Chain A
C-alpha cells in the first residue's frame, strides 16, 4: 500500500506540474452559452467511482448476501456457477509462461468492479441495483475469486482497501504524455 501511495503521489506531482501550463490558459467564459446545473443534478449523474472510493454511496454487503442477489439477477446470463462468461476468467496471477489476457486479473482496484456492476449490470436493466445489492454482488464476485472471504463486509470504507492481487504489477500509466514525444520503450511492440 505504501509503495502504491508513493508511486501514485509521484504520478500526481508529475501530472500537476504538466497541467500547470494548461490551467494557466483557463479564463472566464467567452461565449456565455450553456446552463449552470444545480449541485443536485450533478450529484445524480456523478456516479463514476475513483480508486480511492471517495464517491462511494452508503451501503453494505457480504458475499453470502451477494449470492442471493446473484441467483435472482445475474445467474440467467452468467450461469449457475458464475462460469458462464466473463466471471469464469478468475484471478490467475500474471507472469505465465505463455501470457494470456485474463481481464479480471488486470483490474487494479476493487472500485473498478463495483463501478462497472453499478453502471452496467444487469445488462437488461443497468443501474437498477441498489447500493446494498452492488456491495453484496461485488463481495460475491471477489469471494468467488479468492480475493476476500465469504463473511467480509464491503462498504464505502472497506471496499477501497481491498487489495487486488496484481495491484502493484502494472507498468505506471503515462501521464507524461506530450504532443510529438516518442513513445516510451517497453509499452509497445
Chain B
C-alpha cells in the first residue's frame, strides 16, 4: 500500500511544482513587457485542489537535525520563517523512531480500550468523531529540544530549538472515552500504544489522562497528517512530546508504569550524582527569539522588531522580558493575543539597532511563577557544568543571540 501510493503522490507534487514554476515565469515575462500577455494555461486542477505555498518560498522547509540516537530521524521546524503561533501541519517537527511512517486506513483503524475498566470497548474512527469533541491549541515539544549549540554550527533557531511546534488539535477528551469504559478502583496509570511497526508504548498517570489529554483526529482543521499520527494521536498538553503517542490504537488502564523502552532507556537521563532520571513530564518555561536569530544578518541600522515564541508546560505564559545587552537589563515584551495554556505565545519587542554589538535574549515567566533560567543558573541549580546540558533533556535555558557589527548573528550561549 505504502510505496505505491507514495510514489504516485511524489509524481503529483513534482508535476505540480513544474506547472506552478512555469506559471510564475510566464507572469514575470509579461510584466517585463517582453511578450504579449501569454495565454495562461489552465492550472492543473489537482494542484489548485490543495493550494501550495509560493515557489518563491521553497526554502521554508523542515531541516534535518542531528538525531538523538542511532535509530532516529529528526526534522526541525523552521521557527525563523514562521509567524503567529500556529505551525503549518507540513512543517510540524518530526522525530521518527521507527524509520517508517505508517499510512493507516482510517476505515480499518480501531482504538481498543481495556484493562482495569468495567467495559472494554473498541472504537472506530467514525464512532470517535460522533462523540463530543473539542478544539484546543497546544504545543508539542520534544524533551531533547534546545540542547545548546546543536546543529552543524549551533547557529540557527531551527536546528537548536526546532523540535517544538504548535497546532490546533481537534478530538475527544480521553476522559470521555475512559468514562465510557468505567475506570475501576485501583487504576492509576494508562499505557498507550501506537500502530507503527514497533508499537511505540508510553505510560501516563491517570490524573493527567482524566484531566486534559486529547485523542486528536484533526490538526489545524484537517485530518492529522500521517507523519503526525494519522488517523489518531494522543495529545498530552504541556508534557514532553514523547508522551503524545502517534497512530494511537490501544489504551490499557493499569496500576503501574510499564517502563517501556522509549520511556526508560531511550528517554532517560543520567544526573551528575549518578541517579537515573525518567518519568519527567512537564516542560519548563521557555522562550526564544526567532527573528533576528542565529545565522541571519541584519540588513542595516535602524528599526527591527524583535519577535519570538514563549511556552510552558506549566500552563500559560505570564510574561516575557527581552534584553538587548546580554541580560544586564530586561524590559517587558508585548504578548500577542491569544495567550493560551500549553500553547506557543508570540511576543514582540521594538528595537533600534545602532550598529554596535548587541546580545538579544528573552526570558519567560509562566503562570506558576516559574522563570526561565540562564544556562549558568540552570547549571548551578543542578550542580553541573554547562556542558552537562549538551546531552541532557528538558533544557530550557535562555538563548542569547549575538549581533556583530557587520549585522551577522550568532549563537552566544557559551
Give A residues with C-beta under 8 Å from B.
8, 12, 15-16, 18-20, 22-23, 25-31, 33-37, 41-42, 45-51, 85-86, 94-96, 98-109, 111-113, 115-116, 119-120, 123, 126-127, 166, 169-171, 173-175, 177-180, 182-183, 185-189
Contacts and interface: CB of A to CB of B under 8 A. Distances in A.
Query: For chain B, what secondary structure do more than half of its interface residues adopt (helix, strand, loop), or is it mixed?
Result: loop
Nearest to A92: B270
A31 B178 CA distance: 12
A3 to B, nearest CB: 15
B180 interface: yes
B215 to A, nearest CB: 13
Interface in B238-291: 250, 252, 254-261, 264-266, 268-282, 284
Nearest to B203: A173
Query: For chain A, what secondary structure do more than half of its interface residues adopt (helix, strand, loop), or is it mixed?
Result: loop
A180 B314 contact: yes
B179 interface: yes
Contacts of A47: 199
B344 interface: no
Of A20, A22, A36, the most chain B CB neighbours within 10 A belong to: A22
Interface string B99-142: 10000000000001110001111110001001100000000000
B277 A187 contact: yes
Given A18-B188, A106-B268, A189-B392, A170 B121 contact: no
B264 A99 contact: no
Given A26-B183, A189-B378, 7 more contacts: A18-B205, A29-B181, A99-B391, A112-B265, A123-B99, A170-B277, A180-B315
Interface of B: 69-71, 98-99, 112-114, 118-123, 127, 130-131, 175, 178-189, 191, 193, 197-199, 201, 205-208, 210-212, 250, 252, 254-261, 264-266, 268-282, 284, 314-315, 367-368, 370, 373, 378-379, 381-382, 387-389, 391-392, 394-397
Contacts of B130: 31, 33
B179 A42 contact: no
Contact of A106 (B212, B278, B367): B278
A23 B187 contact: yes
Nearest to A14: B188
A169 to B, nearest CB: 6
Given A111-B259, A115-B260, A174-B279, A95 B269 contact: no
Contact of B197 (A94, A98, A123): A123
Of B193, B199, B314, the most chain A CB neighbours within 10 A belong to: B199
Given A37-B122, A175-B205, A183-B282, A48 B272 contact: no
A35 B123 CA distance: 6
A183 B314 contact: yes
A37 B122 CA distance: 6
Contacts of B98: 120, 123
A86 B180 contact: no
A46 B315 CA distance: 34
